[in-house]
Amino acid sequence: MKKLNTSMNKVAALFCFTVITFINVNALNTKPFPKDFKFGVATAAYQIEGGWNEDGKGENIWDHLVHTNPTAVANNDTGDTACDSYHKYKEDVAMLKYLGVSHYRFSLSWTRLLPNGFANKVNQRGVQYYKNLIKELKDNGIQPLVTLYHWEMPQTLQELGGFLNNNFIDWFGDYAELCFKLFGDDVTNWLTFNEPGPICQHGYGLGDLAPLYKSPGIGEYICGKNLVLAHARAWHIYDDLFRSKQKGSVGIVIDSRWFEPETNKTEDIQAAEVMRHFVWGTYINPLINGDHSSIVKEKIAKRSKQQGFKRSRLPEFTEEEQKYLKGTLDIIGLNHYSTYLISAQKHPDPDAMGFYVDCEAVARQSDDWEKGGTDWMRVVPWGIRKLLKWIKHTFNNPKIMITENGFCDNKDKLLDDDRRINYIKTYLSNIRDAMDKDGVNVVGYTLWSLMDNFEWTLGYTQKFGIYHVDFNSPNRTRTKKKSADYYKKVIATRCLTDM
Ligand code: NOJ
Give pLDDT tens digits for 123-138. 999 999 999 999 999 9
Question: Is residue 135 a part of any domain in this protein?
Answer: yes
Residue 294 CA, chain-centre distance (Å), reads 24
Gyration radius (Cα) of the chain, Å:
22
Residue 19 pLDDT level (bands cut at 50, 70, 90): very low
Report the mean per-residue pLDDT for the chain: 95
Mean per-residue pLDDT, 223-228: 98
Q: Which CB contacts under 8 angstroms, 24+ apart, belong to 465-474?
A: 466/41, 466/99, 466/417, 466/420, 467/95, 468/412, 468/413, 468/414, 468/415, 469/83, 470/413
Confidence of residue 1 (pLDDT cuts 50, 70, 90): very low
Looking at residue 9, its pLDDT comes to 44
Work out the average pLDDT over 377-393: 98
- Closest residue to atom 7 of ligand 1, CA basis: 455
Structure confidence at residue 25 (pLDDT): 60
Domain that holds residue 290: 2-402+433-445
Name the residues annotated as catalytic. 195, 404
pLDDT tens per residue across span 243-257: 999 999 999 999 999
Q: Is residue 185 part of a domain?
A: yes
Residue nearest to atom 6 of ligand 1 (CA): 455
pLDDT higher than threshold 50 for residue 14: no
Q: How far is the CA of 307 from the centre of ligand 1 (A)?
A: 35
Residue 373 CA, chain-centre distance (Å), reads 18
**Domain containing 15 — which CATH number?**
3.20.20.80
261 within a domain of the structure (yes/no): yes
In a domain, 451, yes or no: no
**Which residues line the pocket of ligand 1, CB cutoff 6 A?**
44, 47, 194-195, 335, 404, 448, 455, 464
Residue 302 Cα to ligand 1 midpoint, Å, equals 33
In a domain? residue 366: yes
* Structural domain total, the chain: 1
d(CA 453, ligand 1 centre) in Å: 10
What is the C-alpha separation between 294 and 287, in angstroms, rounded?
14
Is residue 123 a part of any domain in this protein?
Answer: yes
Residue 487 lies in a domain: no
Identify whether 426 is part of a domain: no
286-316 pLDDT, tens per residue? 999 999 999 999 999 999 999 999 999 999 9
